[in-house]
Amino acid sequence: MTGRRRLFFVAAVLLAASAAYLISDGGAVADFSEKIPKKIGGWAASGKDRTFNRERLYDYMDGGAEVYLAFDFREVWTRKYAGSDGREMTLDIYDMGSPAEAFGAFSCDRQDPGAGIGQESEYGGGLLRFWQGRYFVAITASTDDPATSGAVLGLGKEAVKTLGPPGAKPDMVAFLPPAALRPERTSYFHSVVNLNNRFFVASENLLRLDRSTDCVIGEYGAGGAEPVILLLIRYPDGDRARSARQSFLASYLPEAGPEGIARTDSRKWVSASVRENYLTVVFEAPSEDAAKKLGTSVKFPAK
Amino acid sequence: MNSPLTRRDFLRGTTVTVLGASLGFSQNKAVQKKSRVVLIRHRDVLDENSKINPDILQGMLDEAVMKLLDESDPVRAFRKLVKPGEMVGIKTNVWSYLPTPPELEAAIKRRVIDAGVAPDRIGLDDHTVRTNPLFVNATSLINVAPLRTHYLAGVCGCIKNYIMFAESQPAYHPDSCADLGSLFKLPQVKGKTRLNVLCVLTPQFHGRGPHNFNRRYVWSYKGMIVGLDPVAVDTIGLRLIMAKRREVLGKAQELPPVPKHIQLADTRHGIGTSDINAIELIKLGWNEDTLV
């Protein structure tokens, strides 16, 4: 192939890949300006629609951008709506790059009942959050009266129509043992910022998390009782997993022996074990046996 | 690495003990003079719709600053802070969901004028303080911010309020915004802060994701925390947030995400004290559900 032909071939492949990415999964975020209604009930779009990419996300949310940048965030499209009495509602649609990452962004701060919008959703206190395909969506209103709730949910139902087909959750979610799992409390993320907001472990990054690590956290037990926590981390290689375990045990569980399990002052058991490039940590288990049983129930993928 | 604060520390004992031991708050620190912090509250400063009564708010500011400086007159108290002929920057916070209330900005500005500073030499700004001539040339700064939780820094108070003085704000974000205290050493800021006012009229004790504001997580505390030491002021603010989280969310969620920058502003950057034993907290006014 000549240099010119090779260049043409590469460009065509890139163009096709881009088109496939945009068309099959909901399109470019800028298209939302045309697709999403500018009026919802008594609310109307106000100001200019804006988009922010990875480099410019700080302009939109100084002090919080890292939370999305820790995922494979691509762009966010945002629009404000004004109500007749000066109330405000903000629609943010985040292109997270893949359905797994969109699920991750949604899953880390889940708290309210589902709203039946998108693949999974929650609504409470004027805040609607959901994910669909590679998009994570948040609609925020400053008030929570019935009229505002209706507008927030109505806007969510309109927005989800533009987001394309559903996508798959991260593979690691399926590794969690299903017995007694509280599925609505499962979270997926990469960084220590998300871990500590979800389940505070330590003020330092003992588990050595970064963008190259994948984490899933599951809660176990009946509702109302203190849950047992299973944290599963996938590192790029086994050395990093073993090093992270060592770091964690040294600072968090120094009394643990080679097996990496010990009872803490709160009379709960904590364990940390490595299998290949996976580190499994169990917190708040009621007994040694329970910690071991949960830790060894992880459904690791076949090689 | 210093001994990290872990989940076990929290489950082991009271938070105050934990903070004292694990965040490095020295019990043996030589305390020459305690850092005075005044918490003032008034039952009627907000009405049932959270509308501020500006006269009551002015009275709260006056009383707090008088107590802080052992003065019996608010203008004399402010004259201890700023002098006629100075250029004064009031660093406010304009976060749309929970800004510094304009009534509080006005109350501070009024007393700065009463102290003899010409109105055209008083700046009031947030995002453009680095280029605003009234801040570039300011000889004194007054730091006023609302108290809320923050996804990265744990809490957003008087220390974090100065991030707009930074050339690169993201440069202060690593490690849970650990080094925000160094903002007070920037040339535009160093040695100029005369007063720190943490607005706790309606603090936000919890958030879900960055930029999150929700009325469920805000309560009418109807207070103001005032001090010369931004670290001491934020230390009291953090205790307030933690107490409210413990009350509403339970002990397991007492701590907002790793508010290490407050302690490090003391132990690493030396701009104030985070040692609760070295803080003289004076409480004035309404004392129902004070929490701290």
Interface contact flag, A204 B1, Cβ < 8 Å: yes
Q: What is the pLDDT of residue B21?
A: 38
Helix (H) / strand (E) element for A212: namely none
Separation of alpha carbons A206 and A246, rounded Å: 9
Q: What residues does A269 pair with on adjacent strands? A: A263, A285
pTM for the predicted model, two decimal places: 0.82
Instruction: Provide the shortest C-alpha distance from residue B291 to chain A (in Å).
Output: 23
A-chain residues near B215 (CB < 8 A):
125-126, 142-144
How many of the other CB atoms lie within 10 Å of CB of B162? 24
Give counts: helices (H), strands (E), chain B.
Answer: 9, 8
Chain A residue closest in CA terms to B169: A62
* Residue B142: how many other CB atoms lie within 10 Å: 27
The alpha-helical segments, DSSP class H, found in B42-193 are 54-69, 74-79, 102-114, 133-136, 174-177
Which pLDDT belongs to residue A22? 46
Nearest to B275 by CA among B283, B266, B284: B266
Instruction: Show the DSSP H helices in chain A as ranges.
Output: 3-24, 32-35, 57-60, 65-69, 99-107, 146-160, 192-198, 238-252, 288-295
Domain limits of chain A? 26-160, 171-295
- DSSP letters, A137-167, are EEEEES---HHHHHHHHHHHHHHHTTS-S--
For residue B141, which amino acid is it?
L
The SS3 of residue B8 is helix
| Ranges under pLDDT 50 in chain B | 1, 13-18, 20-31
Q: Between 3.40.1000, 3.40.33, 3.90.1570, 2.60.40, what CATH number should domain A171-295 receive?
A: 3.40.1000
Q: What is the pLDDT of residues B41-52, one digit of tens each?
A: 999 999 998 999
**Nearest 5°: CA angle at A202, between A62 and B13?**
120
Give residue B20's pLDDT. 46
CA neighbor of A68 nearest in space, from A80, A81, A79, A52: A52
Residues of B with Cβ-Cβ distance to A281 under 8 angstroms = none
The Cα B150–Cα B156 span in angstroms is: 6
Q: What is the pLDDT of residue A87?
A: 85
Longest CA–CA span in chain B (Å) reads 55
Contact A299, A174 (CB under 8 A): yes
- In a 13 Å sphere around the CA of B178, the CA atoms on its Cβ side amount to 9
pLDDT above 70 coverage of chain B, percent:
90
Predicted local confidence at residue A235, as pLDDT: 98
Helix (H, G, I), strand (E, B) or coil at A116: coil
Say whether B4 and A202 touch across the interface (CB within 8 A).
yes
Is residue A88 classed as helix, strand or coil in its secondary structure?
Answer: strand
Contact state of B215 with A143 under an 8 Å Cβ cutoff: yes
Rounded to a whole number of angstroms, the distance from the CA of B86 to the nearest CA of chain A is 32
Distance CA A73, CA A58 (A): 13
Looking at the complex, does the CB of residue B255 fall below 8 Å from at least one CB of chain A? yes
Residue to substitute from B3, B98, B152, B204, interface A, most A β-carbons within 10 A: B152
One fold for A26-160 and A171-295? yes
Compute CA distances A45 → A40, A41, A147, A156, B143, whole Å: 9, 11, 17, 14, 35
Angstrom CA distances, A89 to A50, A61, A152, B33, stand at: 15, 16, 8, 49
Collapsing DSSP to helix, strand or coil, A283 comes out as strand
Quick check: ipTM above 0.85?
Answer: no
Indicate yes or no: CB of A140 within 8 angstroms of CB of B212: yes
Contacts of residue B152 in chain A, CB cutoff 8 Å?
63-64, 66-67, 193
| Among B170, B209, B258, beta carbon nearest to A196 | B258
Q: Does A46 touch chain B (CB under 8 A)?
A: no
Q: How far is A11 from chain B (nearest CA, A)?
A: 35
In this structure, whether the domain defined by A26-160 belongs to CATH 3.30.920 is answered with: no
User: pLDDT tens track of chain A, all 303 residues?
Assistant: 455 665 555 555 545 444 444 444 556 777 899 999 999 989 999 999 999 999 999 888 866 788 899 999 999 999 999 998 788 899 999 999 999 999 999 999 898 999 999 999 999 988 999 999 999 999 998 778 888 999 999 999 999 999 999 999 999 999 999 999 999 999 999 999 889 888 989 988 999 999 999 999 999 997 677 899 999 999 999 999 999 999 999 999 999 999 999 999 888 999 999 999 999 999 999 999 999 999 999 999 887
**Do the beta carbons of residue B135 and residue B90 sit within 8 Å?**
no
Amino acid code (one letter) for B205: F
